[in-house]
Amino acid sequence: MIEIIYNKEDKAVTSNSVDVFSQIERSDVLWIDMFNPTGDEKRTVEEFLDTTLQSRAQAEEIESSSRYYEGTNSIFINTDFMIPGPDDYAMESVSFILVGNTFVSIRQVPLRSFTDIQRRILTNKKIYPTGFHILIGILENRIDLDADMIELMSKEISQYGKRVSLGEDVNEDFLLDINQMQENTMLVRENIVDKQRMISSILKSDKTPDGVDNRLNVLLKDISSLINHTNFSFERLEYLQNTVLGLINLDQNKIMKIFTVVSLLLMPPTLIASFYGMNVKLPLIGGNWDVLVVIGVMVVTVLATILIFRRRRMM
């Protein structure tokens, strides 16, 4: 699927067919959005712009030289957009190409940032006169969404903290949930840092038009604050994880203490029973009250052990 936004009689119009390329000039095209494009659509766009589009494999490469590079009259950018799921987050590769004032995007999944900017362009194209302005608009929208995700994650972390403070049962599932939150936090931070590098590279480019530096610098400041927030969230999760592990260790220690105390209390009676179980002549044996006498001695030793433990504050 392809959506072409171009100027026509001082208005922004859209078309979903590559046939429109034969009716317009390259300078009239503002944005070519390619959503899961076919091979024919990609070849037609390449011929129209006289450039080469990135493949999905190239978009997923992690080398810095593959994430951002410039040609003679074009800029190629590969980045990732985060897709929130019910439990974890997924990363989807997106490619951007700037050829003159024309902006090209290649993606495989629907993204809200793209839909919002397309609607704004068709409403008032003066806000986005060039492809650079469209790219910046998408990044601004995306960073706002990332900030919303980080805020939501902070609320979830606070809920986990309240559950621990209220003394709720913390078990293996609770620890796994915290671990998943840590993974999500790291993914969010990685995604934001990638955008920070991209915007820094755009600022350094001599192809960047005048008048957009301020907006890019504001984006960098916003990204820096989001990075600090994700770092803080990750530290909170580590602290929460250590607290939960400490509580689990305390519970285990209590259980072990109970078993230890019970074993110690039973040691004197067991010793006495073993003596009187031997086939030899022992004191206190030979009367009708032998069993009661032996049981009495056992009880006295147990009470004496309890008294000693309490005086030493071991119980």
Residues 161 and 306 placed together within one structural domain of the fold: no
Q: Is the dihedral of CA 248, 251, 257, 262 positive or negative?
A: negative
Q: What are the residue ranges of helices labelled H in the chain?
A: 39-49, 56-59, 64-67, 112-123, 131-165, 172-204, 213-276, 290-311
Residues 203 and 259 placed together within one structural domain of the fold: no
Residues 28 and 146 placed together within one structural domain of the fold: yes
Please report, for the domain that includes residue 226, its CATH number: 3.30.460.20
Q: What is the pLDDT of residue 282?
A: 59
**CB 71 within 8 Å of CB 41:** no
Residues 104 and 235 placed together within one structural domain of the fold: yes
Residues 263 and 222 placed together within one structural domain of the fold: no
Residues 270 and 207 placed together within one structural domain of the fold: no
Residues 235 and 259 placed together within one structural domain of the fold: no
Q: How many structural domains does the chain have?
A: 2
Residues 168 and 303 placed together within one structural domain of the fold: no
In the chain, % of residues over pLDDT 90: 0
Structural domain that includes position 264: 252-311
- Least-confidence region, from 95-99, 118-122, 268-272: 268-272
Tell me the average pLDDT across 271-291: 63
The pLDDT tens digits of the residues spanning 78-112 come to 888 888 776 677 788 888 888 888 888 888 888 88
Please report, for the domain that includes residue 272, its CATH number: 1.20.58
Residues 206 and 116 placed together within one structural domain of the fold: yes
Residues 264 and 229 placed together within one structural domain of the fold: no
The pLDDT tens digits of the residues spanning 22-81 come to 888 888 888 888 888 888 888 888 888 888 777 767 666 656 566 788 877 888 888 888
> For residue 86, which phi and psi values (nearest 5 degrees)?
-65, -35
Residues 240 and 103 placed together within one structural domain of the fold: yes
Rounded to an integer, what distance in angstroms lies between the CA atom of residue 67 and that of residue 168? Answer: 46
Beta partners for residue 233, in sequence order: none
Rounded to an integer, what distance in angstroms lies between the CA atom of residue 274 and that of residue 179? Answer: 52
Residues 158 and 222 placed together within one structural domain of the fold: yes
Tell me the average pLDDT across 194-223: 85
pLDDT-derived band of residue 281, with 50, 70 and 90 as boundaries?
low
